[in-house]
Amino acid sequence: MAKVLERSLYQTDYYAWTKDQAAKLRALAALRVNSTLDLENLAEEIESLGRSDWRAARSQVQRVIEHLLKLEFSPAREPRSEWVDSIDRARDELVDLLTPVLRREVEDDLATAFERGKREAAKGLRRHGEREAAQALPKTCPYSLDQIVSHHWYPKNRHGIVDDLDGDA
């Protein structure tokens, strides 16, 4: 039964599985189980696989936030379609990465992802001469994680630009 549960967790929430397996390996190491396995380093390696997924998910969330901010605050018509394409590709990556436990952890870290995405959005806007738009960016994240991952949601542009999107823009 435990093997079925572990396989199920492995298949349904790989991130949670890595955390669980690392904890079990560390518990065995603490019991000083007589084994030729390097339990502590195995635990670290398994845990690092989960951290890799977490970093990848946060990176994609940052990219979506960066381009959502540009779509919302930029007065420029171009390169809006490139921003939408980037958002859509990042959302596709997120669908593959986000498990229930990883989603909660990414959501808990949304403020950090927002700050990084906002910084990149501001740099890009300033680089294209849109200083006012860069200065108008919000102090806190105006988007929920549900909006960030939704393939059918885009913010309304503050300058009245209407895009031909499947979303609300």
pLDDT tens column, 66-98: 999 999 999 999 999 999 999 999 999 999 999
CATH of the domain spanning 2-149, picked from 3.30.70.260, 3.10.50.40, 1.20.1220.20, 3.40.50.150: 1.20.1220.20
Q: What is the pLDDT of residues 4-30, one digit of tens each?
A: 555 688 888 999 999 999 999 999 989
* N-term to C-term CA, the chain: 49
Q: Cα–Cα distance between 8 and 20 in angstroms, integer?
A: 13
Give yes or no for residue 107 having a pLDDT over 50.
yes
Mean pLDDT confidence for 123-141: 98
In 3D space, the residue among 152, 68, 159, 154 whose CA is nearest the CA of residue 114 turns out to be 68
pLDDT at 153: 96
- Which residue shows structure tokens 């670290």? 44
In 3D space, the residue among 46, 13, 5 whose CA is nearest the CA of residue 29 turns out to be 46
Q: What is the pLDDT of residues 145-167, one digit of tens each?
A: 999 999 999 999 999 999 876 54
Give yes or no for residue 39 having a pLDDT over 80.
yes
Q: Please name the helix (run of DSSP H) or strand (run of DSSP E) that holds residue 92, with its range, or none.
A: helix 80-97
pLDDT-derived band at 169 (thresholds 50, 70, 90) equals very low
pLDDT at 11: 87
Q: Please name the helix (run of DSSP H) or strand (run of DSSP E) that holds residue 106, with its range, or none.
A: helix 100-108
Model's pTM, two decimal places? 0.87
Q: Cα–Cα distance between 162 and 169 in angstroms, integer?
A: 6
Mean pLDDT confidence for 88-117: 96
Q: Cα–Cα distance between 17 and 35 in angstroms, integer?
A: 22
Mean pLDDT confidence for 108-124: 98
pLDDT at 123: 98
Q: Cα–Cα distance between 100 and 14 in angstroms, integer?
A: 10
Q: What is the pLDDT of residues 117-126, one digit of tens each?
A: 999 999 999 9
